[in-house]
Structure 1
Amino acid sequence: MKASYSKYVLAATLAATTVAYVAQVPATAAVPFTDLKNVGDHYTAIEELYNSGIITGRTATTFAPYEAATRAELALFIANALHLDTKNVKDPGFTDVPKNSTYYGAIAALYNAGIIGGYKDKTFKPNDYVKRSQVAKMLVLAFDLELANTTTTKFTDVNSIQDMDTRRYIQTLVQYNITKGTSTTTFSPNDSVKRAQLATFLKRAIDYTQSDFDIINVE
């Protein structure tokens, strides 16, 4: 199910949130992580989202850019990006997400908004690595991206997926240029997403949503 707000309302929220963060953090603020020397283009996304309070490191001085992101981390980052209320939440009832967990509020908020779901055994599996196909679904729902009409993609390993919605979520990210795949013909839907990659995906999704908001304001 979709979140209960339009992408333009969401964009306005993101815009207001960004202004608030910029007021608190200098644009040139350095990140405290010592392990970002070889992250290439991901550095900009990590720096911007960290200074905006959206993403966090694995420790005070390391980001672990090429370690796999967990489902809990993705939930936290998206909740931060959407500026969701993570305090006043309804318990989603996941047996493996205790209320004293660092990630409880974010997971509950996203579940309440219809952005994430759990497993049939009433677990969320917060420490599992998040798959590329799962990231596609969560970003499409979180940022209310217009879902692709086609289920045929340029990726051979996506076209073989039986679930048509999963195909659409992945194709949507391609159409928004949030991802280009792991090669020209593969997406690797079951592979884990590295934390540096996740930062870039998030920044692109935020940028597109912000762009929509700017267009509406101009018109």
Structure 2
Amino acid sequence: MGKEKGVKLHGMWASSFCMRVELALKLKGIPYEYVEEDLSNKSHLLLRYNPIHKKVPVLVHDGRPISESLLILEYIDDTWKDSPSLMPLDPYMRARVRFWANFYDQKLVENCRVIWKCKGEEQTQAIKDFIQNLRVLEEGIQKDFSGEKPFFNGKCPGYLDVALGAVWCWNSVLEEITGVKLIDSEKNPFMSAWIDAFCNLGIVKDTLPSLDELVVLATDLRNLALESSVA
């Protein structure tokens, strides 16, 4: 493993967590090799590089693997210091972006998972929880980063923009396949303006898969999940 050089990313095309890493690498201008993984038949390299969780993304830098998307973002920023910084310089603000990224993953991503896999009362409750958690997220981020525009990092996207923005595309997928409106531009003006600015970046458009492709995949997986819950 130690003889391998360069940067490789083991990922899966539809994974928003892998998209986080791709966006960070592109924002920093870091050349890398992308390795697509079949998660139904995981490669020996993926199992070797991530034997604990056995999942993507895995960044391999000079033969050394790093897993977990948020940890990879920090590794990229700490390793390539001459490139535009993803993390704030102030230690307190670094702690704040970590806090909100973790809040998003632990609360809103989990809400979305239930909305996607369930129906009926369980889905209805998850929608209510999502809307409440989104309100907390929006108010908290606006308080911490109200002076930064158009992104939380200022003129260029940073750690928190990438962490939230890459996953946010799946909200549109959920709205498409469930008919549920998760974000309202009138009720959530701050987050709506931010996501519009983020999604209109050329680098984001070039990295995120098409909505149609994601809807097809998500619909198939949702149907399987619903059938399994009934069986």
Name the TM-score, length of structure 2 as normaliser: 0.28
Which structure would you say has the larger Rg?
2
* Higher helix content, 1 or 2: 2
Name the TM-score, length of structure 1 as normaliser: 0.30
* Higher strand content, 1 or 2: 2
